[in-house]
Amino acid sequence: MDPLELFLQGFLGGVPLGVLVYLALRYGLGGLFTVDQNERAVKVRLGRAERLGTDLTNRTGPVSEGLARTDEDRYIYPQLRVYSSGGPYFKWPWEQVRKVSVATQTLNMAFDPDEPSANQDGTVIEAVTKDQLNTGLTGQLRYRVSENNLYAFLFGVKRPISHVMGFFVSILRQRISNFEAPASVQDPSLSRVEASIVAGISINDLRKNLRDLNEHMDHECKGSEARYGVVLEASLITGIDPPQDVESALAAINTAHNHVSSDISLAQAAADQKIVQSRRAVEIETLRAQAEVEPLLALSTQLSLLKRSGPGALQAYLRNIRLGLYQKAQSVFMAVKHD
């Protein structure tokens, strides 16, 4: 046989075997994948994510607890089959794997994912208070991707972090714009003086109630998990700073307020001290009066008993008392009756 024919025969006979070996290596071993410890994965089959069931959505379970009733019908996403850390897992050639990190991450609350240079290079976010002061806010935001609502994060919105930051900033600015200090923190005895000094100064109220502000933000941002598949674990507002031209005026107001509060406290302390001294003086005088009255009452009781004991007992008692006084006296002046 011609050598060329032998070569062609061997080559054509080995092609199917080579193709099979290539396919086995490419789509057999290449179809295996693993998931890291801080990752979760979903498989997408021909553009459609693998679901747990046709009727299971994010409204089944605690995901939609923080969502307002008016928004429940707008944010309905199917539940996906989530592959947790481990493996190896297998995927077919027509399937794709989308991996997402579920580790808790920290962001500056002023960070803008679409434009990092905004908000003073992502360091300070501005908000207007109820008294029209432009305030600078600083702080941090902790978040993580919700593995219970990965559909919203992967397919619900194009840029979920941008949506979440916009959602957070809108809630924060709305809260700052109409924040009022709780009535329970105001001292009723100083309400008139404080009203004349710090009326309408909302920055002071915000600074004194940072904890309440952070708790309000945590409560209002619970709906981000159902909306965007991102859990806002905590918001920590650390600084509230007014413009520089307002800071000096606020410092003067706060100084005057502190002086007035100090003067009122001193006046109240002095008044309380005088009240205590007056009560003590009344008690002392009352005890003195009682000490003077007690012998007289005892003498009256004794004389009444003597009078009841007999007709001459009282005269005898008076005579004995008179004699005792005569013995103690050095001189006695007697009155003499003239006819």
Structure tokens that stand for 13 in this block: 């006979």
pLDDT tens digit sequence for 194-226:
444 444 456 777 888 888 888 888 888 888 888
313-334: average pLDDT: 76
pLDDT tens digit sequence for 90-135:
888 888 899 999 999 998 988 888 888 888 888 888 888 887 888 8
- Round the average pLDDT of the chain to a whole number and report it: 78
- The SS3 of residue 85 is coil
Sequence-distant (≥ 6) Cβ neighbours of residue 100 within 8 angstroms:
39, 40, 41, 145, 150, 153, 154
Q: What is the pTM of this model?
A: 0.61
- Give the type of residue at 244: Q
| Cα→Cα distances 158→96, 114, 153, 164, 301, Å | 18, 12, 8, 12, 103
pLDDT tens digit sequence for 175-201:
888 887 766 544 444 444 444 444 445
